[in-house]
Structure 1
């Protein structure tokens, strides 16, 4: 089987491509940074550089492949709506059209669990129903991209979408690094009472889920799946564990949620006015995610994908910390 992996120069796409190569699959990778896939080329991957907003490139990538694992897309929650539209929605639409034109059998789309967030604490979230309104342009673009994917099922494309909780492991630059940076500056505080429980996903478990999706039986098709370690843990225990491993001071100060949310709103407003619109160190999304309970129900993935989390969160954190120190 030949698999195309988009976003392979990123954290999750790169880890899945390496896992697929180790399992003996023929792998073609796409990314924006050639240096980000050098380790995959040494393992035998074929690299095609380019931007997925180009429909001709997307179609060329799909020539001769049996399955596509689409991990590319805009990351984070800060940015212009048109950028999320181009890098997430348009790129996904081009990949879908490429799959249909080149008769690719299966498309696995990497979405995210953030599309569930509604500004409140949420426990044991199921895949349906989704909120009618989305918190920001990033989550809205992920939902629209999912719709593009599932819409292709009526034309014969086999489709699956995965919605992982926050992914932890070597190579993560999205979740822990900004918190480490804030603590190094003595500007990180526990938001709320510090007892909020959340789900995380080891990148090893996610790569296994992606591979299971590529090989899944027909009964699993046409569905979205929550993916996590299924062991909700107080978020600030996780943060402080990582800080201890990195020999940094613990977060002990507390700050109210409302004041943190307002600080985020002020920071966002200032960054909108600043030339280049830099990413704010605090945001309303960040205040909510550091304060609210957020756990997923993964029963559907267990049933249809035979998903069984094997790598613990603590092992994933140890892996991240070893990688971070080596940087």
Structure 2
């Protein structure tokens, strides 16, 4: 039995990861910032440990005796202040690495993202040789790129990065709920008709990749995982919303118009220091309006990765959950 520590265990990917680790017989501790996250981690069957990404001492104490750490915690909200993204995603990751080193952790697996490569251009058939973009105009993309650089350059503990793309499935707390909210509020619109291709990663496939990265990944390396085959973005989103009984509106914006609206909105929010986030942001435009197709050959060859859940199975589970 391995003792495993998980950050972000109260979230979507982290929660599903904890369930799988427990099922496989590991002892799991999860970082809990407050009562709500502690209750969620405890309900899964793991041991919540109070602390946050800004407290190295608490992280070190929480990791004591752990052989393996999964770092799934990150700021993923739309838009927002750059300093907050940097504090959570970059400085927080640096703190997790330091605590893991001081606690004697053998290996750390970092949950990365294809967004770390995004700079406003499509990603077509990309693999792990594509450069990270810490200079990206989107704060989430830039901060995740900078965080990954820290992880891959760390000498101790051994580190591996696992990059899923557009994680979805039952229990999703971001993608599907936000799409549902936009449709119901009358704010949904396709970009260029949504006819571009995209890769996706069911949460069970993401977790499978994380476990393989922990056992087989080469130190300092990154690995992409997906559902195995790209699909048309419009088809995927239409079926996803259909699991909630929703029909998707036909309204569409040109990519240039969506980009201009997002850039203008972000500028106004920054200039006036407005609370919340603008109606449209660059990261959302890039995620929803540009092709993103990924080559997972490296994960297949080095990790033995194969998707364990098909899109059809994942959609069926969502429909059953809704009913």
**TM superposition score normalised by structure 1:** 0.91
Q: Distance in 2 between matches of 1:46 and 1:204?
A: 22
In the alignment, the residues of structure 2 paired with residue 208 and residue 100 of structure 1 have an alpha-carbon distance, to the nearest angstrom, of 25
Alignment of 1:122-141 (within 5 A): 122-131=123-132, 133-141=135-143
CA contact (8 A) 2:78 2:281 kept: no
Q: Over aligned residue pairs, what C-alpha RMSD do you find?
A: 2.0
2:193/2:234 contact within 8 Å kept: no
Q: 1:215: which partner in 2?
A: 215
Residues 114 and 130 of structure 1, relative CA distance in 2, 3 Å threshold:
same
The 8 Å contact of residues 9 and 34 in structure 1, kept in 2 or not, is answered as no
Report the equivalent of 1:34: 35
2: CA distance, partners of 1:317 / 1:281? 28
Distance change >3 Å, CA 38–CA 270, structure 1 → 2: same
Instruction: Give the CA deviation at 1:93.
Output: 1.1
- 1:151 match: 153
Distance 2:318 2:34 in 1: 22
Asked whether the equivalents of residues 160 and 221 of structure 2 are also in contact (C-alpha less than 8 Å), the reply is: yes
Matches within 5 A, 1:13-28: 13-28=14-29
Residues in 2 aligned to 1:135 and 1:227: alpha-carbon distance in whole angstroms: 25
| TM-superposed deviation, 1:215 | 1.8
- For residue 223 of structure 1, report the CA deviation from its aligned partner: 0.4
Q: How much does 1:288 deviate?
A: 2.7
Residue 52 of structure 2 corresponds to which residue in structure 1? 51
SS at match of 2:95: helix
Report if aligned partners of 2:241, 2:247 keep a CA contact under 8 Å in 1. Answer: yes
Secondary structure of 2:194's aligned partner? coil
Q: 2: distance between equivalents of 1:249 and 1:137?
A: 32
Question: Number of residues paired by the alignment?
Answer: 321
Distance 1:37 1:307 in 2: 32
Q: CA deviation at 1:95?
A: 1.3
The equivalent of 2:222 in structure 1 is 224
Note if contact 1:77-1:137 (Cα within 8 Å) is conserved in structure 2. Answer: no
- What pairs with 1:35-114 in structure 2 (closer than 5 Å)? 35-114=36-115
Distance 1:141 1:250 in 2: 32
Counterpart in 1 of 2:197? 197
**Structure 2: which 5+ residue stretches go unaligned?**
none
In the aligned structure 1, how far is the partner of 2:82 from the partner of 2:266?
15
1:321 to partner: Cα distance: 5.1
> Where in structure 2 are the equivalents of 1:241-260 lying within 5 Å?
241-260=239-258
**Paired residue secondary structure (1:290):** helix
Contact 1:14/1:37, CA 8 A, preserved across alignment? no
Q: How has the CA–CA distance of structure 1 residues 49 and 272 changed in structure 2, closer, same or farther, with 3 Å as cutoff?
A: same
The separation in 2 between residues aligned to 1:268 and 1:84, in whole angstroms, is 15
Distance 1:263 1:69 in 2: 37
DSSP-derived class of the 2:289 partner = coil
* 3-state secondary structure, aligned to 2:136: coil
CA deviation map 1:95-143 (0-9, x unaligned): 1111111211000001111011232222111111315532322222212
Q: 1:276 to 1:61 in 2, by over 3 A?
A: farther
Question: Which deviates more, 281-290 or 117-126?
Answer: 281-290
